[in-house]
Amino acid sequence: MNEATEDILNRVKLMVASGFCDLEEIHDTIEEMSEEESDADEVFLLECVGKEIKKIRADEKSWPAVTDCDRLESAFDNLNENQIIAMHVAGYTTSDGVDDACELREEMGEENVIGFCFYHEQDLERVVNGDELYIAYGSYSDNDEKNIVIAELVKAELEEQGLKVTWNGDPKERILISKFDWKRRGPLLG
C-alpha cells in the first residue's frame, strides 16, 4: 500500500470508529482525498470501509448497554441544558475549539451561556486509539476564578455520569477522563 492510500485509510478508520460520520460522509472524504492524492487506491479504500463497518457492528454485540460514550453524551447534554456549551470534536486543536465555542456563544446570546467545554479532533484520535480523553473548558473570560468554576461544574457532571475524572484544580490544565473506553454507536451502526 502506498503512503497516500495509507494516510487516507487511517483517516477513514478514525471516521468509522468515531461513530460521528455516516457512510456518505466517509465516501465523500475518500473521494475528495483521493482526488488530492492521485496515487491513492480509491477502490481499495472503499472496500476497507465495508470491512471496518462490519468489524464494528460485530464488536458492538459485546458492548455494554451504556458505554463511556453514552455517559459522555449524557454529561454534555446536561451541561448544554445548564448554560455550558459542551461540544464533541470541536475543531482540530484547543484553539479551534475555543473559536467554535465563541461562535456558538455569539449565536446563542451571551446572556444564555456561562462557559464551555469540549474535546477536539486530536483528542478524539488519541482516545479512539486507546489513550485517555482530555476535556478543555473555559468561562469566556481571562479570569482564573471563573474558569475554575466552569471546570468544577464540568468535572462534577462527568463524575455524576460515572466517568473516572481527574483535574488538579489548575485553570490552565485540562480535565482528564481516564480509562475511557471509546465505543460510540453512531450513524453507521443504526
Within the chain, strands assigned E span 84-87, 115-118, 133-138, 164-166, 175-178
Residue matched to cell numbers 479512539: 128
Q: What is the pLDDT of residue 103?
A: 95
Question: What are the residue ranges in the chain where pLDDT is below 50?
Answer: 189-190
Q: What is the pLDDT of residue 186?
A: 78
CB contact burial 23-53 (16+ within 10 A = b; e otherwise)? eeebbebbeebbeebeebbbeebeebbeebe
Q: What is the pLDDT of residue 3?
A: 84
The Cα 32–Cα 114 span in angstroms is 38
Give this prediction's pTM: 0.90
Q: Nearest-CA neighbor of 14 among 182, 189, 140?
A: 182
113 backbone dihedrals φ, ψ, rounded to 5°? -135, 130
Residue pair 8/33 in contact (Cβ under 8 Å)? The answer is: yes
Q: What is the pLDDT of residue 188?
A: 61
Q: What is the pLDDT of residue 36?
A: 84
List beta partners, residue 177. 133, 165
**189's grid cell:** 451502526
Q: What is the pLDDT of residue 19?
A: 92
**9's grid cell:** 485509510
CB count, 10 Å around CB of 166? 11
**5's grid cell:** 492510500
